[in-house]
Structure 1
Amino acid sequence: MRIPRSAARVMALPSSWGTSIEWRLLDGRGWLSKAITREIEQRRLFPWIPVCFGIGILLFFQVDSAPALWAPLGAFAVCGAAGIALRRHMTALVAMIVLSAVFAGFSAGVIRTRTVSAPAITRIIITTIAGFIEAVEEREQGQRLLIRIVEMKDVTPAERPRLVRVSIRAGAGLRAGEFVTGTARLLPPPEAAWPGGYDFARDAYYKRIGAVGSMVGQMRRIDPPSPPDWSLTLAAQVDEARNALTQRIATSIGGAAGGVGAALVTGKRGLIPEPTNDILRGAGIYHIVSISGLHMVLAAGTFFWLVRALLSLGSTVALLWPVKKIAAVAAMIGATIYCIFSGSDVATERSLIMTLVMFGAVLADRPALSIRNLSIAALIVLAREPEALLGPSFQMSFGAVAGMMALVPLMQRKPTEGTTATVLERGLRWSSKAMLGLVTTTLVASIATAPFAAYHFQSLNPYGLLGNVLALPLVSVVVMPSAVLGVLAYPFGLDRPVWQMMGAAVEQVLAVSAWVGNFSGSTVVVPALSIAALAFLSLGLLTLTIPASSLRWIALMPAGMGLAFATAPDRHDMFIDREGAGAAIRGRQGRLVLVGRPSDFVIEQWLRADGDARNADDGSLRHEARCDGTGCVVIAGHGRRIAFIQDYAAFEEDCRRANVIVTRLQAPPTCRQPFVLDGEALNERGATTLRFGPHAVEVTSVRKGREVMAWPGGQSIQSAGAPAQGRPRPARPVPEQDLPEDEISTGEPD
């Protein structure tokens, strides 16, 4: 008996879903019906659960006060119970699953934030500290220490930070695990330089770092008041072993290649010269020195291949033992050890989770590479570290893998059939297939990660495809296998030749990077994408990669809208330093004009956000500013006069003539200009940006969010009829995006 196709579809689905759907509508009569049926058949609804989980996390980071834990947990329980009760009604079941995932993500954010809560200082202090060194990073200028504080003079235990990060000059020779004391100049972890920029304060909060700064004078080793606990002892031993291997690799190879080679193995990047970092960034291959998915896959793949090849040498073992699964277990163990030894950074841990899920699928006789496995890995990572969703590491790694899983099979050519090929023809065919695969995966990964790179780094590398195609074969075939062999030979003292072989390959990678980086336009600075542009482009990526049916072409709509927002950026007209040390104002020529003395890091952040490729020391930044000993005046667009005041003597004149006044001083009550940002206002809001309109000014700050105020004679766009305010009303803050701490300088003193 022949079964109709529509009936076969129903038989293949869970019986609980079959009672509430008119399956006769899914018999191929409509495109949407066919597409939905295929999505259910391919089990492509599950990958949307991590997406909804992530939406809940984003909602949590939108709150402007600490939410209660019982509310999201209670809503999650109610929706889960409702989903079980309504499991025979597909529409209701899907709705309850969506809501449950959203509330679960919100709950994860609340739990994580409460779990890592630790004190942080609120002002600059110079005090004596004492504690255990938890980690040491060797740098060209000295050492950077992570200290677990035991004592801090004049600071109560309730206000004492758990961890502080300080820099010390060269020659100290300190090691992890030692108990030290000394005088330190500490400041609160700095907030974002502009709303939407890199927020080191949030990054430090989730790492439980309550202060950053530098040591004043010498740091002394003393006897600890009590022995360290087991976690500190283990962390210190691992860090000391990493530092020893880092020095071994760097001295064996020498030069810049030695620093890069050491970073590839141990994750310690402090020995890489900054010009070398610039070369790698210009070629679009800086990701090779950040231990993440590429390194984890190559390291685990090397372990997998070695164990499987060794076990296959014996015919009895190869025939009777599950060689593939044994090799998968060995790869999982090797990847875990590699993660621990490389420092267990956040990006490395995410890559480990992805790798373990993939090899776990091999143990379960399931496809290792699938969107479902990637979804499970994303769900685990987000449940463990919800804040990771806001960072480029998570976004770029999962975006690239999702893009490759979904699109690379469509771009690969099918092998020709028929004629018997010679050995040479098979070799050429294999080489061309490998090269096509490398180009395809690199192209897809570059396209998938471009929106996140533009949003977080404000730069694109047009020749990154060429750089990766030339460099990655060396990294995959020589560098990473040599790294695994070198680590295995290190305990026997036979590792130096292996490191030297790896160093020769690294030098070629650097040579290729320098060649590609010297191309004109190798690095293109673009204006920071808006939240809307990133949201639409991200939705386009998800819609393109998750569906298995032609529903994926719906992605063209959000992607097109995202590109429209990206190509017409709404630039800020003014950037103001969080402490009032300086500002950048858009002058009559359309470019930013610098006044005051903000740090170089802050200036670079402002310029990159505006899509300006100039450096912080470019003399043209101050050409349009008219300055004297009391401050500066800049004529902005539409003829508005902006005054930056550094002395009280300037208030009388500028308060009469200027449209906007910015100062770190306290403005006198008689200064009644349309908009005044003085020291008190900046302390309330932090870094602030302004956009000038004909009738209103849009104010966005790190701490207070977005507000629209009317100029005199006009009305507020947000609330017509409201009187003009001297300071914006509180608004819900926009979540700032973070970068990996080691990707960019934080601007704190060394």
Structure 2
Amino acid sequence: MASDEPPLVPLGNASPVGAALQQKHWRMPQDLSSAHVRMAARAERFLGTAAFDQGPWAVVGLAAGIAAWFAGDSTWQWLSAIALGLGLALAAVAILSADGRFPLLRRAVVVMTLALVAGCVLVWIKSALFGTRPIARPMVVQLDARILAREERPAEQKVRLVVATREPESGRAIAVRVGLDSAADRAEFAEGALVRLRARLVPPAPPMLPGGYDFARSAWFSGLAATGSVLGPIKVLESGKNDSPIRRAQRALSLHVRKNVGGSPGALASAFASGDRGAIAPADEDAMRDSGLTHLLSISGLHVSAVIAAAYVIALRLLGLLPWLALRMRLPIVAAGIGAGTGIGYTLLTGAQVPTIRSCIGAVLVMLALVLGREPLSMRLVAVAAAVVLLVWPEALVGPSFQMSFAAVIAIVALHGTRAMRAFFAPREEPIWQRWLRQVAGLLLTGVVIELALMPIGLFHFHRAGVYGALANVVAIPLTTLASMPLIALALLFDAVGAGAPFWWLAGKSLELLLALAHWTAGMPGAVTMMPAMGKGAFALFAAGGLWLALWRGRVRLWGLAPALLGVLLLSRVAPPDLLISGDGRHIGITGESAGELLVLRQTRSDYTRDNLLEQAGMKGETRLLDDWPGARCSDDFCAIILRRGGRDWQLLLARGTAFAQERALAAACERADIVVAARYLPHSCQPRWLKADRRMLDQSGGLSIDLARLKIRSVADEEGRHGWWNPPQPRPRRPQAEPSGSTGADDASAAMLPQ
């Protein structure tokens, strides 16, 4: 006799937990007349078939809450997000618990919403408690300061000091980072020394342009109230205590490595051994970045995992030579403890930066999983590592380091967790050359998947992505992990008996090969893809699609391709802004007039300024002065240019000098212009037809990017919102007046600059 109850929904690849829940609780609702009941039933069925794992998704919810706080720009938006999350959780408990037929749906809604609320509250509390208010304005001051940290940068011939002092105006205790020439470097500048110095201090810089690097945000969470440079000699008032043993060991190790391996290979060897990247030449850093190998320069997952794995294997083999120990103890547990201890020591030795700590946590969790007999590489383990980092450093979520490292690990775990990859790597009887060929093919496929996962992140943060990175990493990663790092370790070991020279020579040759690969790859045609700033919406679609692909099981994971493809569509429609204006109004970039060239108002010796303009324009070309462009007319004080955009002509008047123009002439020139840009305050009588971006406006808006065809303006202020690190100066109560004296040649030029 047929049963009246409908059959259970098959779980496919569902977890045992999901199967148990389904067997105990899930039945098709009998009353399907209500639309919301049908929707709930479909959601319950989906969660059962796709094997909802609440651990990883709870971390996703935590990250979403942190991201919502950064994306919101005011208190009411943050409170609204919290209230919405709590409301959804309460509604799920009240409605779905009463029904009792949808346990998976209820759990999913409650877990995700409460995690989102927790993330938003967590980062808000940390910002309120630990955020450091920047100084109000630039200043030149004499300070008595205590040295907290010291960073040597031989490639730039600079030394950076982080010092504790008091703000001259308010007297509050602040931390300041200052730079000085390495020629002034002396042994007295040790951590803990009390010094007197004269320095020019400025507030931590916000993004120069919308979508640029936000140092002000980083300084807010790291405790820096100002940055600057030392003017003149430093007087040591009190000698510092010797640096910490770890710091001394790090510096001694860096110097020892560079002494034995000279030039660029020595700088890379120092980075691998001690985490000191200060000696790497800018040209080598650019080549490593453009070839997709820059991740090898920072002590992260690859290095920490290699060190821990090597320590584990060596300890296991050596301990296995002691029969009396092998018979009394479980050697894998002892070896795992030695590996974990080695990884922690390596993390401390290399500076214990957040990315290194994050990698160490993940590697130690792998050791713990091996000891417990669990799967060493699983999505739950990745989720635990991410949760630990986010709970301690929630601000790390919006940085490229966190995103890239976890995106790469998630991509690896998701790829190798599929049935196809498990079958591909399953042991089988075959010739050794076929086994090696499968390993190489798997490594290449893994590299391609990692590059696809990292490309949106690189485009979002750096506006560039390496095209041949997957191929370069197929060679570079084995070269680094199987040759360079073991040779450096052997060289250091044999240096104890004075026999390390052969290993140093071999390590240098392997690093020369790595640098040659980087420069060759970076120099290939089309090696780097440059794009203008990607919108946050497109980036969110890529992130959502990638997480969907990684965290679900079965065919439903393919639905993640939909948001990813939509992100690709939005990305393909991104066009460079027509006009880029820096926050101080001094630097202006114009795109679309000269193929492969960015027109600029003035040249600069700052690589930072030039690179920002080119990156935001999505160009890898050169800059060209407006003075040299036939379509522009320039005097000593003004440049004028007509841009054809959106089916009409736009007339731009750009101030170059700082001298005031005769007010009547300037007002007439402004009246005929659509856009006026100046690094100084302009009088109220200057009224262009569309936009006046003078000092008064730019102080409040920050840098601008303007799309003339769409009449769209993006500003730094719009992206920063009302977070504590965005500290625009208050507008001055009085407006300066233009020079009332008679007209000069420059004034006549400003009046006649624009065509009638």
* CA displacement at 1:101 relative to structure 2: 0.4
Aligned residue type for 2:279:
L
Is 1:132–1:150's contact at 8 Å kept on the other side of the alignment? no
Question: Is the alpha carbon distance of 1:416 and 1:261 closer, same or farther for their aligned partners in structure 2, counting shifts above 3 Å?
Answer: closer
Per-residue deviation, residues 318-343 of structure 1 (Å, max 9, x unmatched): 45532222222211111111111111
Per-residue deviation, residues 191-214 of structure 1 (Å, max 9, x unmatched): 101112111111111111111121
TM-score normalised per structure 1: 0.83
Q: Give the structure 1 partner of residue 506 of structure 2.
A: 501
The partner residue of 1:515 within 517, 520, 527 is 520
* CA displacement at 1:523 relative to structure 2: 2.1
Give the percent of matched residue pairs that are identical in Structure 1 and Structure 2: 25
The range that moved more, 503-512 or 490-499, is 490-499
Is 1:336–1:352's contact at 8 Å kept on the other side of the alignment? yes
CA distance in 2, matches of 1:556, 1:735: 36
Question: Is the alpha carbon distance of 1:377 and 1:417 closer, same or farther for their aligned partners in structure 2, counting shifts above 3 Å?
Answer: closer
Is 2:312–2:339's contact at 8 Å kept on the other side of the alignment? yes
CA distance in 2, matches of 1:370, 1:15: 21
Is 1:44–1:548's contact at 8 Å kept on the other side of the alignment? no
CA distance in 2, matches of 1:82, 1:239: 53
CA distance in 2, matches of 1:733, 1:215: 30
Kindly indicate whether residue 629 of structure 2 is the aligned counterpart of residue 613 of structure 1: no
Kindly indicate whether residue 212 of structure 2 is the aligned counterpart of residue 204 of structure 1: no
Matches within 5 A, 1:659-674: 659-673=674-688, 674=690
Question: Is the alpha carbon distance of 1:33 and 1:207 closer, same or farther for their aligned partners in structure 2, counting shifts above 3 Å?
Answer: closer
Q: Give the structure 1 partner of residue 401 of structure 2.
A: 393
CA distance in 2, matches of 1:313, 1:625: 80
CA distance in 1, matches of 2:311, 2:17: 39
Kindly indicate whether residue 50 of structure 2 is the aligned counterpart of residue 39 of structure 1: yes
| Corresponding residue SS for 1:349 | helix
CA distance in 2, matches of 1:569, 1:679: 29
Q: Give the structure 2 partner of residue 334 of structure 1.
A: 342
Question: Is the alpha carbon distance of 1:74 and 1:353 closer, same or farther for their aligned partners in structure 2, counting shifts above 3 Å?
Answer: farther
Q: Give the structure 1 partner of residue 671 of structure 2.
A: 656
Q: Give the structure 2 partner of residue 218 of structure 1.
A: 233
Matches within 5 A, 1:314-463: 314-318=322-326, 320-410=328-418, 412=421, 414=423, 425-426=431-432, 428-463=433-468
Aligned residue type for 2:682:
A
Question: Is the alpha carbon distance of 1:92 and 1:145 closer, same or farther for their aligned partners in structure 2, counting shifts above 3 Å?
Answer: same
Is 1:690–1:699's contact at 8 Å kept on the other side of the alignment? yes
Q: Give the structure 2 partner of residue 312 of structure 1.
A: 320
Question: Is the alpha carbon distance of 1:13 and 1:664 closer, same or farther for their aligned partners in structure 2, counting shifts above 3 Å?
Answer: closer
Aligned residue type for 2:176:
L
CA distance in 1, matches of 2:329, 2:48: 40
| Corresponding residue SS for 1:186 | strand
Kindly indicate whether residue 683 of structure 2 is the aligned counterpart of residue 677 of structure 1: no
| Corresponding residue SS for 1:689 | strand
Question: Is the alpha carbon distance of 1:496 and 1:417 closer, same or farther for their aligned partners in structure 2, counting shifts above 3 Å?
Answer: closer
The range that moved more, 400-409 or 175-184, is 175-184
Kindly indicate whether residue 258 of structure 2 is the aligned counterpart of residue 260 of structure 1: no
Is 2:626–2:634's contact at 8 Å kept on the other side of the alignment? no
Per-residue deviation, residues 176-203 of structure 1 (Å, max 9, x unmatched): 3133222111111111011121111111
Is 2:166–2:174's contact at 8 Å kept on the other side of the alignment? no
CA distance in 2, matches of 1:81, 1:354: 34
Aligned residue type for 2:582:
D
Kindly indicate whether residue 178 of structure 2 is the aligned counterpart of residue 165 of structure 1: yes
Q: Give the structure 2 partner of residue 98 of structure 1.
A: 112
Is 1:120–1:209's contact at 8 Å kept on the other side of the alignment? yes
Q: Give the structure 2 partner of residue 712 of structure 1.
A: none
Q: Which runs of 5+ in 2 are unaligned?
A: 31-40, 727-756
Kindly indicate whether residue 642 of structure 2 is the aligned counterpart of residue 635 of structure 1: yes
CA distance in 2, matches of 1:522, 1:23: 54
| Corresponding residue SS for 2:519 | helix
Question: Is the alpha carbon distance of 1:368 and 1:144 closer, same or farther for their aligned partners in structure 2, counting shifts above 3 Å?
Answer: same
Is 1:594–1:622's contact at 8 Å kept on the other side of the alignment? no
Is 2:600–2:624's contact at 8 Å kept on the other side of the alignment? no
The partner residue of 2:282 within 260, 265, 274 is 274
CA distance in 1, matches of 2:58, 2:296: 31
Question: Is the alpha carbon distance of 1:7 and 1:609 closer, same or farther for their aligned partners in structure 2, counting shifts above 3 Å?
Answer: closer
Kindly indicate whether residue 135 of structure 2 is the aligned counterpart of residue 121 of structure 1: yes
CA distance in 1, matches of 2:576, 2:171: 45
Aligned residue type for 1:122:
A
Aligned residue type for 1:574:
L
CA distance in 2, matches of 1:533, 1:734: 26
Is 1:544–1:552's contact at 8 Å kept on the other side of the alignment? yes
Is 1:186–1:213's contact at 8 Å kept on the other side of the alignment? yes
| Corresponding residue SS for 2:537 | helix
CA distance in 1, matches of 2:442, 2:17: 35
The partner residue of 2:301 within 293, 298, 302 is 293
The range that moved more, 278-287 or 615-624, is 615-624
* CA displacement at 1:541 relative to structure 2: 0.8
Length, aligned pairs only: 689
* CA displacement at 1:419 relative to structure 2: 9.3
Per-residue deviation, residues 46-87 of structure 1 (Å, max 9, x unmatched): 311111111111111133346799998899889888888876
CA distance in 1, matches of 2:553, 2:628: 51
Is 2:157–2:181's contact at 8 Å kept on the other side of the alignment? yes
CA distance in 2, matches of 1:484, 1:495: 10
TM-score normalised per structure 2: 0.83
Question: Is the alpha carbon distance of 1:438 and 1:118 closer, same or farther for their aligned partners in structure 2, counting shifts above 3 Å?
Answer: same
Is 2:69–2:120's contact at 8 Å kept on the other side of the alignment? yes
CA distance in 2, matches of 1:526, 1:320: 61
CA-based RMSD: 3.5
* CA displacement at 1:475 relative to structure 2: 0.6
| Corresponding residue SS for 1:667 | coil
Q: Give the structure 1 partner of residue 736 of structure 2.
A: none
Question: Is the alpha carbon distance of 1:699 and 1:168 closer, same or farther for their aligned partners in structure 2, counting shifts above 3 Å?
Answer: same
| Corresponding residue SS for 2:514 | helix
Question: Is the alpha carbon distance of 1:568 and 1:12 closer, same or farther for their aligned partners in structure 2, counting shifts above 3 Å?
Answer: closer
Is 1:133–1:180's contact at 8 Å kept on the other side of the alignment? no
CA distance in 1, matches of 2:696, 2:424: 70
| Corresponding residue SS for 1:382 | helix
Question: Is the alpha carbon distance of 1:623 and 1:358 closer, same or farther for their aligned partners in structure 2, counting shifts above 3 Å?
Answer: farther
Is 2:200–2:228's contact at 8 Å kept on the other side of the alignment? yes
Question: Is the alpha carbon distance of 1:182 and 1:576 closer, same or farther for their aligned partners in structure 2, counting shifts above 3 Å?
Answer: same
The range that moved more, 595-604 or 394-403, is 595-604
Matches within 5 A, 1:132-151: 132-151=147-166
Matches within 5 A, 1:473-512: 473-486=478-491, 497-512=502-517
